[in-house]
Structure 1
Amino acid sequence: MALRRMLHFVFKVGDRAKTATFYRDVLGMKVLRHEEFEEGCKATCNGPYDGKWSKTMVGFGPEDDHFVAELTYNYGVGEYQLGNDFLGLTLQSSQAVSNARRLGWPLTQVEEALYLTHAPGGYPFYIVDKDQPPHDPVQKVSLGVSDLHKSTHYWATLLGMTVMDKKENNKTVLLGFADSQCKLELRDVGGAVDHGTAFGRIAFSCPREQLPSIEALMRKENQKILTPLVSLDTPGKATVEVVILADPDGHEICFVGDEAFRQLSAVDPKGNELLDKAMAEDKSDEWFAKHDKQKAAA
């Protein structure tokens, strides 16, 4: 399944300005593209919301060969409750450690050369204090599971990932589609997985021709399909096809046709400028303050 690749994790953010500071100034990621939408996504990319929202892709390099973050912002929603589903994103960058220290961004040393920090909203990030590698600095995404054996079967046998490492004692399994890609770590949380209201989503690409067979396999195995094969239009860009699944713990998984996605995900040199413009034009914080109200909590 080497033709499949890990693409991004979707984070719901309540404060775009603080979030932009974290990804751009602390981690050192770049804005790859930014889009504004007037109504909710057909594939619920922004969650169960129908209103205006935005999507910002950030990463250390193009989505063609880097694992990136998709930041979705729903206008009018100021915070999301975290669960124990997303357990962290690990990246290697001594520059990010020094950026955090310089900016006074909280860092906790977990072990030698490994630090824990948090994105706005509370999402955990682990930073390995070593030089940034020439390829993608993002090493792995960690998700909580309630039954490691069942989850390993789902991700390896049904979705075709390779088990790259298994630690029985601390109940973790590391999987991937290729050595050169970001990995997925499954960690047994010793009980039910709670997605809170921030429930994320992990995305993969595969050749477009594989999408119907992925859906058919999930039907045959009585696994959950959240969104059957659907086409998503982005004005002025490629139309992509996606299938959205849920694993045994309800982790949302999006498979997208690779050929069209590579066109859709081309880096927009104006991405940074578009994000800054959108944040400057978003007067929602001022409106809520003026009317002595608080933004909704999801």
Structure 2
Amino acid sequence: MVGYGPEGDHFVTELTYNYGIGSYQLGNDFLGITVASRQAVSNARKLKWPLSEMGDGVFETKAPGGYKFYLQDCSPPQSDPVLKVTLAVSDLQKSLNYWSNLLGMKIYEKDEKEQRALLGYADNQCKLELQAIPGKVDHATGFGRIAFSCPQKELSDIEDLMKRENQKILTPLVSLDTPGATVQVIILADPDGHEICFGDEAFRELSKVDPEGNKLLDD
């Protein structure tokens, strides 16, 4: 789990290595992560990491697996430099109904011409951007999921709501015994098959920063 701060109040990315798999086929579902960081741009230039200038101080780059990142050459406007995650959708209005009306996300921006919308649960948190694309959203084999921390008492309400609305539930509410804590999760799928995990506050016990983490990783 990597990020710019503790998982309790920062967006983090989970990197998973699966043994015996040399590469993944990327689909058109994940459009990128936007990060505001002068340091990131400076690091990329110093390391001669490929950057494509997009204008207005924004640079496109790719992680080794091909996943896109957009680096803004500026100081972050919030405590977390990760500004947004952008996902492709086939029908913007249908997706807005799901993410906003059902899952309760606030719509911060909506651009009918560009067919995009920006949503979030709080002003100072990483946002979710939905971008409509022509045709079908293809997840191929290199897809992941977005996870949200949620009070345990609300998880059953989410499950009941999805059942009433005949929405897809990939994993019904379940308790997972994990070293350090027992967590409850429910995994959903939006109209385009994007996987969404809601997990309870026990995740905070698992996400505490290990002061020896960097040394252990180096070793």
Tell whether the structures are fold-level matches, with TM greater than 0.5.
yes
1:153-179 residue CA offsets vs partner (Å, 9 max, x unmatched):
000010000111000111001000110
- For 1:125, the equivalent position in structure 2 comes to 69
Q: How many angstroms apart in 2 are the aligned matches of 1:273 and 1:144?
A: 37
- For 1:160, the equivalent position in structure 2 comes to 104
Higher helix share: 1
> Any idea what SS the aligned residue of 2:50 has?
coil
Q: How many angstroms apart in 1 are the aligned matches of 2:152 and 2:167?
A: 21
- Name the amino acid aligned to 1:257: D
1:262 alignment partner, one of 204, 207, 212? 204
1:91 alignment partner, one of 26, 35, 38? 35
Taking the TM superposition and a 5 Å limit, the aligned residue runs for 1:105-124 are 105-124=49-68
- Name the amino acid aligned to 2:8: D
1:145 alignment partner, one of 86, 89, 99? 89
Q: How many angstroms apart in 1 are the aligned matches of 2:213 and 2:25?
A: 28
- Name the amino acid aligned to 2:217: L
- For 2:137, the equivalent position in structure 1 comes to 193
Judge conservation of contact 2:26–2:140 (CA < 8 Å) in 1: yes
Are the structure 2 counterparts of residues 176 and 134 from structure 1 closer, same or farther at C-alpha, using a change threshold of 3 Å? closer
- For 2:5, the equivalent position in structure 1 comes to 61
Structure 1 residue 131, shift from structure 2 partner = 2.2
Judge conservation of contact 1:244–1:255 (CA < 8 Å) in 2: yes
Structure 1 residue 112, shift from structure 2 partner = 1.9
Give % identity.
66
Q: How many angstroms apart in 2 are the aligned matches of 1:273 and 1:74?
A: 23
- For 1:253, the equivalent position in structure 2 comes to 196
Are the structure 2 counterparts of residues 101 and 203 from structure 1 closer, same or farther at C-alpha, using a change threshold of 3 Å? same
Structure 1 residue 274, shift from structure 2 partner = 3.2
Judge conservation of contact 1:93–1:129 (CA < 8 Å) in 2: yes
- For 2:172, the equivalent position in structure 1 comes to 228
Judge conservation of contact 1:231–1:241 (CA < 8 Å) in 2: yes
Instruction: Answer yes or no: is 1:242 the counterpart of 2:185.
Output: yes
Judge conservation of contact 1:95–1:132 (CA < 8 Å) in 2: no
1:62-116 residue CA offsets vs partner (Å, 9 max, x unmatched):
0111101010111111211111111000010011101001001000000121000
For structure 1, the residue ranges without an aligned partner over 5 or more in a row are: 1-56, 278-298
- Name the amino acid aligned to 1:185: E
**How high is the TM-score relative to the length of structure 1?**
0.72
Q: Which consecutive aligned stretches of 4+ in structure 1 deviate over 6 angstroms post-superposition?
A: none
For structure 2, the residue ranges without an aligned partner over 5 or more in a row are: none
Structure 1 residue 148, shift from structure 2 partner = 0.4
- Name the amino acid aligned to 1:148: L
Q: How many angstroms apart in 1 are the aligned matches of 2:16 and 2:212?
A: 18
Q: How many angstroms apart in 2 are the aligned matches of 1:242 and 1:64?
A: 16
Structure 1 residue 223, shift from structure 2 partner = 0.5
RMSD: 1.1
- Name the amino acid aligned to 1:239: T
Q: How many angstroms apart in 2 are the aligned matches of 1:193 and 1:273?
A: 40
Q: How many angstroms apart in 2 are the aligned matches of 1:71 and 1:117?
A: 17
- Name the amino acid aligned to 1:244: I
Q: Bigger relative contact order, structure 1 or 2, given CA contacts below 8 A and separation 6+?
A: 1
- For 1:206, the equivalent position in structure 2 comes to 150
Give the aligned length.
Answer: 219
